[in-house]
Structure 1
Amino acid sequence: MTTTEWITDLALLLIVFRQLRESRLDAMSFLLPLGIIGFVAHRYLTTVPTDGNDLALVGTLVAVGAALGVGGGLCTRVRAVGEHVLVKAGAVAAVLWVLGMGARMTFQLWSEHGGAGTIARFSVTHDITSAQAWVAAFVLMALTEVVTRLATIFVRARLVRQAPAAARAYATTA
């Protein structure tokens, strides 16, 4: 892994730890993770191969990313205090985030340090046609996890801000 890849991966892992402490939901809460994942997508997502079972691989990992992202968004505490919305990632949200981002990072390290043969055999057996299919699948998994987590938090924040005061007390326990 290059230095840029290490920095990018660690930045993505650290994003959720920033929210372990309750903080105000603001534009930066959305722009920072979207900016990082946008950089990753621009740099590594050159094409999405469609031959063989490449799309099945991509679709599977995108579905995993969506599940992790929605789960993480639902396990993030969202509450309104006055005019502000506060968010705090819970332990489950942090675990889901690290699981998704860490799995991608672990796969990349494994593929570079002894796992390439196993991945090649798996790819041949399952008609995955290129290394780019794996790259696309994991980049799109990360992108989907980030976007669905942020979208879930955004929707929950809108609902909390619109909820009557009595309902807000109930909504903050989720």
Structure 2
Amino acid sequence: MTTTEWITDIALILVVFRQLREGRLDLKSFLIPLGIVAFVAYSYLDTIPTAGNDLVLIGGLMSVGAALGVAGGIYTRIRIVGEHVLIKAGAVSAILWVLGMGARMGFQLWVEHGGGADDVARFSITHHITSEHAWVAAFVLMALTEVVTRLATIFVRSRTRTVTRPVPVFDRTA
């Protein structure tokens, strides 16, 4: 793994720790993770292979990313204080995020340094995965899908919350 890959992978994993502390849901909450995955997609997603069962692999990992993203968004606490929407990633949300982003990083380390290259090659031949580009596309799109679905879930949940304000028992000015 290159230095850039290490920094990018670690940054994606650490993004959730920023949300373990309750904070305002604002443009930064969306732009930072989207910016990181946009950089990853731009850097590593040259093509989306469609031969053999490449799209099955890509679709399968994107489905995993979507499931992790939606679940992570559901397990993020959202509350409204005044005019501000506050979010806080719960333990389940953080675990799901690290699991999804960490799995991609772990797979890459296993293939490059842990002796997994031969196993992946055999799997690819058996299941008609045509090239390493299919694996790259699948994992990049998995990460992208996880980020987008998590943020979309948080956004929708933040917009559908009803604000309940206490009703005064009596009016002190009367």
TM-score exceeds 0.5: yes
Letter in 2 for 1:32: I
Query: Which residue of 2 is the match for residue 70 of structure 1?
Result: 70
Deviation for aligned residue 1:131: 0.1
Deviation for aligned residue 1:159: 1.1
Larger Rg computed on CA atoms: 2
More helix by share: 1
Cα deviation 1:68-108 (Å, max 9, x = unaligned):
00000000001100000000000000000000000000000
Query: Which residue of 1 is the match for residue 123 of structure 2?
Result: 122
* TM-score with structure 1 setting the length: 0.93
- For 2:54 and 2:28, the matched residues in 1 are separated by 35
Query: Which residue of 1 is the match for residue 15 of structure 2?
Result: 15
- For 1:26 and 1:4, the matched residues in 2 are separated by 27
Letter in 2 for 1:57: L
- For 1:4 and 1:43, the matched residues in 2 are separated by 10
Do residues 52 (structure 1) and 52 (structure 2) align? Answer: yes
- For 1:164 and 1:133, the matched residues in 2 are separated by 46
Say if 2:61 and 2:139, in contact at 8 Å, map to a contact too: yes
SS at match of 1:104: helix
Cα deviation 1:27-79 (Å, max 9, x = unaligned):
00000000000000000000010000000000000000000000000000011
Query: Which residue of 1 is the match for residue 150 of structure 2?
Result: 149
Query: Which residue of 2 is the match for residue 106 of structure 1?
Result: 106
**Structure 2 unaligned runs (5+)?**
166-174
Cα deviation 1:107-145 (Å, max 9, x = unaligned):
000010111000000000000000000000000000000
- For 2:16 and 2:73, the matched residues in 1 are separated by 11
- For 1:110 and 1:53, the matched residues in 2 are separated by 22
Query: Which residue of 2 is the match for residue 165 of structure 1?
Result: 164
When the two structures are aligned, how many residues end up with a matched partner? Answer: 164
CA RMSD, 1 decimal:
0.7
- For 2:90 and 2:163, the matched residues in 1 are separated by 24
- For 1:32 and 1:96, the matched residues in 2 are separated by 18
- For 2:71 and 2:156, the matched residues in 1 are separated by 13
Do residues 85 (structure 1) and 78 (structure 2) align? Answer: no
Letter in 2 for 1:37: V
SS at match of 1:86: strand
- For 1:84 and 1:159, the matched residues in 2 are separated by 14
**Structure 1 unaligned runs (5+)?**
167-174
- Sequence identity, in percent? 74
Runs of at least 4 residues of structure 1 off by over 3 A? none
